[in-house]
Amino acid sequence: MNKPLTSGSRLWSTLMEMATIGAIPENGSCRLSLTDEDRQARDLFARWCREAGCTLRVDRYGNMFAVRPGSKAGAPAVLVGSHLDTQPHGGRFDGVLGVLAGLEILRALNDAGVETEHPVAVVNWTNEEGVRFKPGLTGSKGFVGLLDEATVEGEGGADYFSELSRIGYAGHPMTDFEVLAYYELHIEQGPVLEAAKAPVGIVEGIQGVRWLEVELRGHDAHVGTTPMDNRSDSFMAAAALASRLRERAISLDKHIRFTVGRIEVSPNSQNTVPGLTTLHIDLRHGSTAVLDAFEKVMAETIPEVETQERVRVNARQTMRVEPVTFDETCRRHLLASARAFGLDPVSLPSGAMHDASSLATKVPAAMLFAQSRDGISHNPLEWSEPEHVASACEILAQAVLVHAGTKGRWGDESRDT
């Protein structure tokens, strides 16, 4: 096995420094997209990229691209990255690892004097998490032309493009930037690799995701004076609808993921029958046909609840991400790199959304997972061991080097992992 190219200790130090921005109790992170904390994280990343000699570009959606040039004029770039934004009670690794591992690859290439034929670029995608703005994957969808800008909604009336300008990251269309292939490193966010005692895994593909918003309208009423059989209770109707949809989803396919992750009740008063309840549904499966079948079942179920509970229901889809299968050649590069490193990685699907699902619709793409302790994510307790992070970064680096036009053979200097 060759001497490692990348420095695991330097990557770890970079991760921990980034985690100080938006730090919350229990070693967590909160950097919601296009907030001041996000701006600070972007500024730090931009400084590091410029110090690494990269050209920094920002597109219309606020995506940041740090480009290390290649030797072949006009060649498309091998792109590596993920996102710096987090959940409100997020951890130190989700998304951030993929961006900073890309930065570590650029730094290591500089240290070793490795020249690639194709440019190697690192990207920070905007608003992957979809917390402040919906839909999620906003930046990556915009980059590949799959975003309907009219559908972008901000919490509390926040405007996506105005907020980009406010924090200083409103860019311009990048029509001259071509991508040869895209690689993304991410923590697994699940228990499969830990159970298999595997430091890393190669992702086969990503489940399709649909977000659905269901409004149920009844009538506000006094709880003490309105008989039970004379109510139009939007919350109880929502509970009935959610329960039926869950049962029918499971009957379609046991592998489906149906979740009501958020409920809004109005007027939200303990002594008033609620007149308006909104359900926010997250639906996931690896087959478009199954997702379509669920939406048909939902359309058939809604009239039943309307009649029985005396409410009116309106449902709309707020996000749609199609299932993807990752590129065989990119996955083969990751597999060969892992085996050269002495590992036999697990092959597994991803149940979580990632920006790679956007890129995979337009260019060859692949993902590598690093093991997560207890499968915890979107939580301050999120953790990946330093040695697993280092191994994953080195495997990613070797795959990128092969795709970028070099076998990645460098001097005999030892570098820590």
Report the domain count for the chain. Answer: 2
Among 145, 91, 33, which Cα is nearest to 377's? 91
Assess whether 34 and 127 both reside in one domain: yes
Cα 178 off chain centre by: 22
Instruction: State whether 159 and 32 are in the same domain.
Output: yes
Residue-range definition of the domain harbouring residue 354: 8-206+323-416
The verdict on 185 and 200 lying in the same domain is yes
Q: In this structure, what token pair is assigned to residue 289? A: 């046909």
Pick from 410, 182, 206: which is nearest to 324 by CA? 206
Record the pTM. 0.86
Question: For residues 332 and 185, what is the distance between their CA atoms, to the nearest angstrom?
Answer: 15
Which of 321, 347, 369 delimits the end of a domain? 321
Asked if the structure places residue 129 within a domain, the reply is: yes
Domain annotation covers residue 2: no
pLDDT for residue 380: 95
Query: Which pLDDT does position 409 carry in this prediction?
Result: 46
Same domain, 244 and 381: no
175 and 213, same structural domain? Answer: no
371 domain-assigned: yes
Task: Give the 3-state secondary structure of residue 127.
Answer: coil
Q: Would residue 135 count as lying in a domain?
A: yes
Residues 151 and 240 in one domain: no
Task: Indicate which CATH number applies to the domain containing 72.
Answer: 3.40.630.10
| Distance (Å, whole) CA 191 – CA 371 | 8
Taking 70 as the pLDDT cut, the residues of the chain under it are 1-2, 407-417
- Asked if residue 102 and residue 59 are part of one domain, the reply reads yes
CA distance 57 to 358: 20
The predicted pLDDT at position 411 comes to: 40
Number of H helices, E strands in the chain: 11, 19
What is the pLDDT, as a whole number, of residue 408?
43
Token pair 């460098």 is found at: 410
Does 312 fall in a domain? yes
Q: Residue 233 CB: number of other CB atoms within 10 A?
A: 24
Residue 407 contacts by C-beta under 8 Å, 6 or more apart in sequence?
401
Shared domain for 317 and 331, answered yes or no, is no
Task: Determine contact, residues 265/273, Cβ cutoff 8 Å.
Answer: no
Residue 382 within any structural domain of the chain: yes
Residue 1 lies in a domain: no
**Are the CB atoms for 358 and 140 separated by under 8 Å?**
yes
